[in-house]
Structure 1
Amino acid sequence: MTAQPVEDLPGAIDRALEGRSILVLPRNRDDSITEVAPSQWTGAGRAPALILFTSGSTGTARAVALSAEALTTSARATERFLAGPGDWHLSLPINHIAGFQVELRARLAGWEPVRATSATFTAEAFADEAAELFARSGDRPSYTSLVPTQLHRILADERASEAAAKFDAILLGGSAISPALLERADARGLHIVRTYGMSETAGGCVYNGVPFDGLEITITESSTIDLRGQVVADSYVEITPEGHIAPVDDQALTTDDDGARSMHTSDLGRLDDGVLTVLGRADDIIVSGGTNVSPHALETGLLPTWQHHGIAEVLVTWVPDEEWGKLLVALVRTDGRIPPAVAKVHDSPREFARYLGGLDHRMQGQLLPRLAFPVTEIPHRSIGKPDRRTAARLAEELAELADTAETEE
């Protein structure tokens, strides 16, 4: 049986959960969701309910197979963590697990989500969609799921901020969340739930640092995070030209003798009394002058201070350097309110970095960016995760332009 485009997603979700079809989400948000027959599965055991592709933030996107059990376990755990089944607003692309889970939670709750009608997220549209949701929800809880970039835009708009404060909970994940953003959200009365998870765990599985019931978290000797439980994917898969779906062995996803599944992530973390703190990705570590630097740690450590000096967002990356090997660079998005002291050094990458590094950020002893470039937008992928490869290329281009300008002077 060939793949059939999905016309009715709620009905297709029912068929996939019942084992009557396999839902296949597209790589790109503009392509069609399709259904294939379970007979296309060539692995052992029951066919998966869902095939989707990872965000590809660390390389080529990979296809992941999720069971009906993993998907529903995740959705029901979310209901238990929040205020029970409720009405959902959908502003995330459904070809990613975060967006698909909104559709699934809404289907299990019995009320279709209010879906964004535009591919481009705007604060104005969010406010309109929230008003539509609240008008029908009555006494039912109302929820939405966002990425930090969307929350930034909401908090810059008064009407959208007022609408966001009416939600019983806002799930926030997809990329690193700055303390400064959370402080602004709290000041406006927003009910933020920080989520951690991935395609391979059926979406967020750790809320506000606390794992779902039945999920085991282990910090390995190399400080990376292992996740074990029912929400973990069956396997990675490959889809043949004939449409067959075959499992692919990979050490990142393993199954114990008792059938328990584990995801061995590349994320660094620590556990404090059972509460998880994510410290960034092991493969994002920048070695500068022989010192390991976590860009995530720098970003979350510097922004609370930098935000008071006109900086709305920061991404730490690097450029090649003869002395340092990799020279630390900060790409910063300003909020349009640049103080005079910043304006004086804004056009000199080295002076700009020296000024920002000299602020009272309480990160003494930590290597800091030696160059700082203002940018109109921080590079992100479609789901809101920082695009660190694109950021590194952009930093190198900006550094070359700065060097050329200095030479001409």
Structure 2
Amino acid sequence: MRLEALDGGDAGAVSAALAAALDGTRPLALGFTPGAGDVVPEGTAAVIATSGSTGVPKRVVLSAAALRASAAATAQRIGSGQWLLALSAGYVAGLQVLVRAHLAGTEPALLEGRFTPASFVAAGDGLGPGPRYTSLVPAQLATLLDAAGDPDVRRVLRSFEAVLIGGQALPPALRERVADLGVRIVRTYGSSETAGGCVYDGVPLDGVRVAAVDGEIRLSGPTLADGYLRDDELTARTFVADATGARWYRTGDAGTIADGRVAVTGRIDNVIVSGGVNVSLDRVERAVRTVPGLEGAVVIAVDDARWGQGSAIVAARAADPAGPAASGPVAQGALLAAARDRVADEVGAAARPGRLLLLDELPLLSSGKPDRRAIAALAAAHAVADTSPGG
């Protein structure tokens, strides 16, 4: 079957085309323009272009059955009703908001223009009576929490039966702030390859199976993608069959499973070598985010002529609303010292970050996730601004 390209940023167009996509008559290409050879199998609903967390471009083939299974399992877990779309429909999390609304027989509320507290409130007020739901990334949640002094923002946030939070780990400070506000959040784990979040608050959705193989989280069940468009080699590496013939998705995430609950510790490949010791930058980032003023920090590694290849660098906003302002070398030095001490205690001395890069704004991808490549480029450009040695 041939694909029809749609702009994922045009939520209205994607929503209008969804019924035909889900019945298999009009499979959608989201995030790319299909070529003459881009033919998909019967039953395909959408192909989503994504680089995931690895930066490697991929085109994920999702069947209508997988999208429907994911939406049905979500409804079984948290309920069904009206949905507010605050994400791009070109990403699986945004697309699934539309699928859930469609299967619930409700009209989704589409946020107009740029995401702001005001546009979120306007979209929320456009929903009718009954159970309501939405899906956000942590950066959007932080924006709303920063504006929660506005009674309308508080009112709309509290009106949702559940706010799904995915895309990246939620910093502990944000979890505490949202709990204090009385907003019910559900942390989700999944990817385009699993038709969106398939593990909620650590517990797999009905029908989803989880396993840890050599420290890597693997997922199985009816929500799995068919594979990658025109990339049989990557499909074979990523989707593997067990002895019973069941397909499993190799997530590339490190983690554990205890009493049926999934705990993700980071990317298997997000590791540097410091002083001969393997250091997980995901663990470093989690430790750094517990420091007041660095709750939204991002930890990256760059090649650094002064401190050595693979130095860990903390990037943060110059004045994070969740913590004290960090202006001037004294405040910056104190924040870096606090981060280094916290990392030494929780991860080890070899993992201590070498620099703190303060930015007016952290670059974000259109999905709302930190743009780690752009941050790394800024860090390299600001290498001369080092204020403390690494190691």
What is the TM-score normalised by the length of structure 2?
0.86
Q: 2:135 aligns with which of 131, 145, 162?
A: 145
Residues 224 and 268 in structure 1, CA contact (< 8 A), matched pair in contact too: yes
**Which residue number in structure 1 is paired with residue 379 of structure 2?**
395
Matched residue of 1:63: which SS?
A: strand
Residues 318 and 395 in structure 1, CA contact (< 8 A), matched pair in contact too: no
Q: 2:302 aligns with which of 315, 319, 335?
A: 319
What letter corresponds to residue 265 of structure 2 in structure 1?
Answer: L
**Which residue number in structure 1 is paired with residue 72 of structure 2?**
76
Q: Within 5 Å, give how 1:330-341 maps onto structure 2.
A: 330-333=314-317, 334-335=319-320
- The CA deviation string for residues 118-141 of structure 1, in whole angstroms up to 9 with x for no partner, is 0x21111111211221xx1x2x21
Matched, 1:282 2:275: no
* Structure 1 residue 338, shift from structure 2 partner: 6.7
Q: What is the distance in 1 between the residues matched to 2:259 and 2:192?
A: 26
Q: What is the distance in 2 between the residues matched to 1:374 and 1:26?
A: 32
What letter corresponds to residue 360 of structure 2 in structure 1?
Answer: T
**Which residue number in structure 1 is paired with residue 368 of structure 2?**
384
* Structure 1 residue 356, shift from structure 2 partner: 3.7
**Which residue number in structure 1 is paired with residue 289 of structure 2?**
303
Q: 1:127 aligns with which of 104, 121, 127?
A: 121
Matched residue of 1:154: which SS?
A: helix
Q: What is the distance in 2 between the residues matched to 1:78 and 1:93?
A: 19
Residues 284 and 343 in structure 2, CA contact (< 8 A), matched pair in contact too: no
Q: Within 5 Å, give how 1:54-73 maps onto structure 2.
A: 54-73=50-69
Q: What is the distance in 1 between the residues matched to 2:29 and 2:347?
A: 49
Could you tell me which runs of 5 or more consecutive residues in structure 2 were left unpaired when the two chains were aligned. 7-11
* Structure 1 residue 259, shift from structure 2 partner: 5.7
Give me the identity figure in percent.
37
* Structure 1 residue 53, shift from structure 2 partner: 1.2
* Structure 1 residue 49, shift from structure 2 partner: 1.9
- The CA deviation string for residues 21-59 of structure 1, in whole angstroms up to 9 with x for no partner, is 3122124xxx8xx9x99x97465xx34221111244322
Matched residue of 2:218: which SS?
A: strand
Residues 344 and 352 in structure 2, CA contact (< 8 A), matched pair in contact too: no
Q: 2:197 aligns with which of 197, 200, 204?
A: 204
* Structure 1 residue 93, shift from structure 2 partner: 0.2
* Structure 1 residue 216, shift from structure 2 partner: 1.3
What letter corresponds to residue 371 of structure 1 in structure 2?
Answer: R
**Which residue number in structure 1 is paired with residue 331 of structure 2?**
346
Matched, 1:236 2:221: no
**Which residue number in structure 2 is paired with residue 273 of structure 1?**
259
Q: What is the distance in 1 between the residues matched to 2:112 and 2:326?
A: 42
Instruction: Calculate the aligned-residue CA RMSD, in Å.
Output: 3.1
* Structure 1 residue 391, shift from structure 2 partner: 2.1
Matched residue of 2:348: which SS?
A: coil
Q: Within 5 Å, give how 1:21-170 maps onto structure 2.
A: 21-27=26-32, 41=39, 46-83=42-79, 85-118=80-113, 120-133=114-127, 136=128, 138=129, 140-157=130-147, 158-159=149-150, 160-170=153-163
Cα distance change on mapping 1:20 and 1:302 into 2, 3 Å: same
Cα distance change on mapping 1:291 and 1:216 into 2, 3 Å: same
What letter corresponds to residue 300 of structure 2 in structure 1?
Answer: T
What letter corresponds to residue 69 of structure 1 in structure 2?
Answer: A
Q: What is the distance in 1 between the residues matched to 2:323 and 2:381?
A: 24
How many residues align? The count is 377
Matched, 1:17 2:22: yes
What letter corresponds to residue 367 of structure 2 in structure 1?
Answer: I
Could you tell me which runs of 5 or more consecutive residues in structure 1 were left unpaired when the two chains were aligned. 240-245, 404-409
What is the TM-score normalised by the length of structure 1?
0.83
Q: What is the distance in 2 between the residues matched to 1:67 and 1:336?
A: 42
Q: What is the distance in 2 between the residues matched to 1:73 and 1:318?
A: 38
Q: What is the distance in 2 between the residues matched to 1:62 and 1:213?
A: 27
**Which residue number in structure 1 is paired with residue 277 of structure 2?**
291
Cα distance change on mapping 1:344 and 1:275 into 2, 3 Å: same
Residues 314 and 332 in structure 1, CA contact (< 8 A), matched pair in contact too: yes
Q: What is the distance in 1 between the residues matched to 2:365 and 2:298?
A: 13
